[in-house]
């Protein structure tokens, strides 16, 4: 593997790690494990933990994919491995 | 115009649309047939994948399951959406770069092994076939409920419709019909939701309505709903877990990993023109899925509230005591829609205490005081059985919406079942024609010959699926757990390790898949019977039901996946490294540059 390719893969893995950490934290953390505590806070008529479980986590998933795609395209260009 | 006539016209128009698309999009090559020509735009693919993904279960049953389970129902909402993050980042772009027609073909070439590919083909067939049983029965049920034909006739009509566009158009015909089906099903789901949200809360956006105050009492909807259900002896709506906290966590995770590993979803990303398009297309897919998945919890809660208010009018009025007779609806005054749905058996009222009124409450409540009061008031058990599907099916009638909306819901239910069935059928038939016939038995088959084999495989798959729908094995209800479990414990880890662990070899991958499958099948079969045959459960051998940390069989997929990863890593340490050219292949797959259009050559 060329040196640049190694660096590219390392950057990719770091991005994946960060996104997956947020993914786990919001879906399993805020929505399930810490839901009881968060439910003491209200978002309009929604208890916050319940909101994350039935609304917020899904919005977060969408945001994560678009952020991933956007950053990944930039990384591709920086390392000059993007598609022509 | 009568409701039945309106429904026939609306459903007939949508079918006409699907068949017109089928005529326009005939497949001319295997590339058209397997990957829709390989140049489907990311947004188009997003809509098609969303329709493929959202089955009759999502459209008809999910809102009702959330209504029944309350907060615990979030496992489906998160589990069936969260997997797309994994798919977008870990699988879709790399499998697209690899550029072949089917999922087992990746396993076969990456692990340079026919036996690994055979395990993958078997997993794919097992997951897709168990999944399709539910779709075919769903098609039959939707037809019989909405159009007044028998369920069997419904399945024959459904098979005929799918046949016209799947056999001639392959993936191309399926993709473009699915775009139309997505538009039909999403409007059918959103229109009644907007009406009901506006009626109850004055806010037409259901996602906001669920967090708003009720117009009539100025109390928050969820707060009021919590009071209503606890007054009737049910558990609080917004806090009740699905099993234990651990079970809910692992159940959600299993559904997510399973979603990312389902072949009929993965193969959609072979149809887009580039790696970049594969990444963004997963995002669009989730946008379209979320339109339904964020609306469903609002529909569930609102319809549940409406239902309780209708059956137990006293529950919403402060001055009336719940345990006075007047608090409950008189049977003969019940609305027309109840009688209509009673005819289908989805709703059943039995006047146990012969007082002419309907007592709808939780007679299995843990609240002793509540049960004592109920008994003193002369209630002799819950008198109303409500099938979860009612929440969506009867929603427009409960909210007294016009006939054309009821007809639209019928068309939407049919669109959801047909689109998912077609997506599964292309996964099954392409695996048979491309991985088995071309890959193993007849490697010299020409493109033209393979197209014919593909069409024959599709025809046989439709007949098999129809037969399974007409004679559903008694276990149909338990099979979804199995489909997701298999995808999570065998396919997802093998694909992921194929991309991310360069040193993973064929021995490791094969052993991992087999070990994951063994653990998952063992636990599912212990609870549901060996191959789902009644009377062959063996939970006593493993120390009782849900004995493994209190996990339900639905939640076991993630444990199977963990076993798969562990076994694969250990075995690969002690066996020969993959050959040099495979390692070079993986390095190449990781870089987007040079992505070609997909082709199927072995």
Q: What is the mean pLDDT of each run of 10 residues along chain B (602 residues)?
A: 85 91 84 83 93 88 89 93 95 91 90 90 87 80 75 85 84 91 94 93 95 89 91 90 88 93 90 91 96 96 91 74 86 86 83 91 89 90 87 82 88 89 89 83 83 88 86 60 85 95 93 93 80 68 71 86 96 93 92 77 63
Rounded distance between C-alpha atoms, residue B582 and residue B106, angstroms: 12
Do residues B475 and B510 share a domain?
yes
Q: How many domains are there within chain B? A: 2
pLDDT of residue B84: 96
Q: Is residue A9 a part of any domain in this protein? A: yes
Rounded distance between C-alpha atoms, residue B147 and residue B11, angstroms: 9
Domain end marker among B364, B390, B416: B390
Q: Is residue B600 a part of any domain in this protein? A: no
Do residues B366 and B412 share a domain?
no
Q: Is residue B109 a part of any domain in this protein? A: yes
- A63 Cβ contact list (under 8 Å, min separation 6): none
pLDDT of residue B543: 67
Residues in chain A where the model's pLDDT stays below 70: 1-2
| Partner B contacted by A25 (CB < 8 A) | no
Do residues B384 and B447 share a domain?
no
Supply φ then ψ for residue B575, to 5 degrees. Answer: -125, 175
Q: Is residue A84 a part of any domain in this protein? A: no
Do residues B34 and B167 share a domain?
yes
Q: How many CB pairs under 8 A join A and B?
A: 142
The alpha-carbon gap from B477 to the nearest alpha carbon of chain A, in Å, equals 24
The alpha-carbon gap from A37 to the nearest alpha carbon of chain B, in Å, equals 11
Give, in order, the Cα–Cα distances in Å from B25 to each of B4, B181, B513, B571, B597.
32, 15, 38, 47, 19
Residues of B in contact with A44 (CB under 8 A): 208, 211-212, 220
- Quote the domain boundaries for residue B366: 305-390
Residue of A nearest to B86 (CA): A20
Q: Is residue B6 a part of any domain in this protein? A: no
pLDDT of residue B533: 65
Domain end marker among B339, B365, B390: B390
- Quote the domain boundaries for residue A61: 3-78
CATH code for the domain of B258: 1.20.1730.10
Read off the tokens for B7: 């429904």
Give, in order, the Cα–Cα distances in Å from B159 to each of B264, B407, B473.
19, 21, 19
Q: Is residue B418 a part of any domain in this protein? A: yes
Do residues B434 and B583 share a domain?
yes
Residues of A in contact with B209 (CB under 8 A): none
Q: Is residue B519 a part of any domain in this protein? A: yes
Do residues B325 and B406 share a domain?
no
Question: Could you say which of A35, A47, A82 has the minimum Cβ distance to residue B592?
Answer: A82
Q: Is residue A83 a part of any domain in this protein? A: no
Q: What is the DSSP string of B177-197?
A: HHHHHHHHHHHHHHHHHHHHH
B543: left (phi over 0), alpha (psi -120 to 50) or beta: left
CA atoms in the 13 A half-sphere facing the CB of B421: 34
- B158 Cβ contact list (under 8 Å, min separation 6): B136, B139, B140, B143, B414, B417, B418, B421, B466, B469
Asked if B212 lies within 8 A of A45 by C-beta distance, the reply is yes
Q: Are the C-beta atoms of A28 and B53 separated by less than 8 Å?
A: no
**Where would I find the H helices in chain A?**
3-24, 35-38, 48-51, 57-78
The alpha-carbon gap from A62 to the nearest alpha carbon of chain B, in Å, equals 6
Q: Is residue B395 a part of any domain in this protein? A: no
Beta strand A46-47 pairing with B347-349: unpaired
B111: left (phi over 0), alpha (psi -120 to 50) or beta: alpha
Question: Could you say which of A1, A69, A81 has the minimum Cβ distance to residue B593?
Answer: A81
The alpha-carbon gap from A19 to the nearest alpha carbon of chain B, in Å, equals 9
pLDDT of residue A63: 97
Q: Is residue A21 a part of any domain in this protein? A: yes
Residues of B in contact with A82 (CB under 8 A): 276, 592-593
Domain end marker among B390, B424, B456: B390
Do residues B273 and B317 share a domain?
no
Asked if A1 lies within 8 A of B84 by C-beta distance, the reply is no
Do residues B142 and B54 share a domain?
yes
pLDDT of residue B191: 93
Of the candidates B226, B70, B244, the residue with the CA atom closest to the CA atom of residue A33? B244
pLDDT of residue B397: 83
DSSP A31: I
The residue written with tokens 């007054």 in the block is B231
Question: Could you say which of B223, B274, B592 has the minimum Cβ distance to residue A81?
Answer: B592
Asked if A45 lies within 8 A of B590 by C-beta distance, the reply is no
Q: How many domains are there within chain A? A: 1
Q: Is residue B602 a part of any domain in this protein? A: no
pLDDT of residue B290: 97
Asked if B245 lies within 8 A of A12 by C-beta distance, the reply is no
Asked if B275 lies within 8 A of A83 by C-beta distance, the reply is yes
pLDDT of residue B526: 81
Q: Is residue A68 a part of any domain in this protein? A: yes
Q: Is residue B17 a part of any domain in this protein? A: no
The alpha-carbon gap from A53 to the nearest alpha carbon of chain B, in Å, equals 6
3-state secondary structure of B556: coil
């Amino acid at each position: 593997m060329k040196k640049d390719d190694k660096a590219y893969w390392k950057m990719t893995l770091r991005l994946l790690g960060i996104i997956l950490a947020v993914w786990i934290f919001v879906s399993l953390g805020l929505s399930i494990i810490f839901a009881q505590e968060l439910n003491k806070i209200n978002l309009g008529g929604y208890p916050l933990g319940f909101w994350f479980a039935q609304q917020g986590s899904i919005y977060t998933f969408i945001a994560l994919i678009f952020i991933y795609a956007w950053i990944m395209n930039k990384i591709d260009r920086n390392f000059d491995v993007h598609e022509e | 115009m009568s409701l039945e006539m309106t429904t026939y016209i609306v459903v007939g128009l949508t079918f006409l649309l699907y068949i017109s698309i089928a005529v326009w999009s005939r497949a001319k090559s295997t590339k058209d047939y397997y990957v829709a020509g390989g140049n489907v735009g990311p947004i188009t693919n997003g809509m098609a994948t969303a329709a493929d993904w959202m089955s009759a279960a999502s459209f008809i049953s999910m809102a009702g399951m959330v209504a029944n389970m309350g907060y615990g129902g979030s496992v489906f909402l998160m589990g069936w959406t969260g997997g797309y993050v994994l798919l977008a980042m870990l699988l879709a772009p790399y499998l697209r770069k690899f550029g072949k027609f089917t999922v087992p073909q990746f396993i076969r070439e990456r692990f340079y092994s026919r036996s690994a590919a055979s395990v993958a083909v078997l997993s794919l067939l097992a997951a897709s076939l168990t999944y399709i049983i539910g779709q075919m029965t769903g098609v039959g049920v939707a037809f019989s409920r909405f159009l007044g034909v028998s369920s069997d006739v419904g399945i024959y009509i459904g098979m005929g419709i799918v046949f016209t566009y799947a056999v001639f158009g392959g993936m191309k015909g399926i993709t473009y019909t699915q775009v139309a089906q997505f538009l039909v099903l999403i409007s059918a789901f959103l229109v009644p939701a907007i009406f009901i949200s506006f009626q109850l809360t004055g806010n037409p956006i259901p996602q906001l309505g669920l967090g708003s105050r009720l117009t009539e009492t100025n109390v928050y909807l969820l707060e009021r709903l919590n009071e209503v259900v606890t007054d009737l002896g049910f558990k609080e709506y917004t806090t009740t877990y699905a099993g234990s906290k651990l079970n809910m966590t692992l159940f959600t995770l299993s559904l997510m990993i399973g979603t990312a590993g389902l072949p009929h979803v993965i193969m959609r990303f072979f149809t887009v023109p580039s790696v970049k398009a594969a990444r963004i297309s997963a995002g669009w897919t989730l946008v379209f899925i979320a339109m339904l998945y964020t609306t469903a919890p609002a529909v569930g809660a609102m319809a549940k509230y409406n239902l309780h208010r209708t059956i137990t009018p006293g529950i919403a009025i402060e001055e009336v005591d719940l345990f006075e007779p007047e608090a409950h609806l008189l049977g003969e005054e019940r609305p027309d829609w109840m009688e209509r749905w009673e005819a289908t058996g989805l709703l059943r009222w039995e006047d146990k205490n012969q007082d002419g009124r309907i007592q709808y409450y939780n007679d299995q409540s843990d609240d002793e005081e509540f049960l004592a009061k109920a008994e003193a008031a002369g209630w002799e058990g819950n008198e109303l059985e409500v099938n979860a599907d009612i929440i969506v099916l009867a929603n427009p009638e409960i909210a007294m919406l016009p006939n054309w909306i009821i007809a639209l819901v019928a068309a939407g239910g049919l669109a959801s079942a047909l689109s998912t069935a077609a997506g599964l059928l292309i996964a099954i038939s392409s695996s048979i024609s491309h991985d088995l016939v071309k890959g193993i038995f007849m490697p010299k088959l020409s493109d033209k010959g393979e197209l014919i084999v593909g069409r024959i495989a599709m025809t046989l798959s439709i007949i098999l699926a129809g037969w399974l729908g007409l004679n559903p094995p008694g276990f149909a209800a338990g099979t979804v757990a199995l489909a997701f479990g298999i995808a999570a414990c065998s396919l997802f880890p093998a694909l992921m390790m194929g991309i991310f662990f360069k040193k993973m070899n064929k021995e490791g991958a094969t052993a991992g898949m087999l070990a994951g499958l063994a653990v998952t099948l063992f636990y599912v079969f212990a609870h549901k019977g060996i191959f789902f045959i009644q009377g062959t459960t063996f939970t006593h051998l493993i120390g009782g039901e849900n004995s493994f940390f209190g996990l339900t069989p639905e939640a076991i997929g993630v444990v199977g996946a963990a076993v798969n990863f562990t076994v694969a890593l250990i075995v690969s340490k002690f066996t020969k490294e993959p050959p040099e050219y495979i390692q070079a292949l993986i390095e190449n797959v990781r870089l987007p540059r040079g992505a070609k259009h997909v082709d199927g050559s072995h």
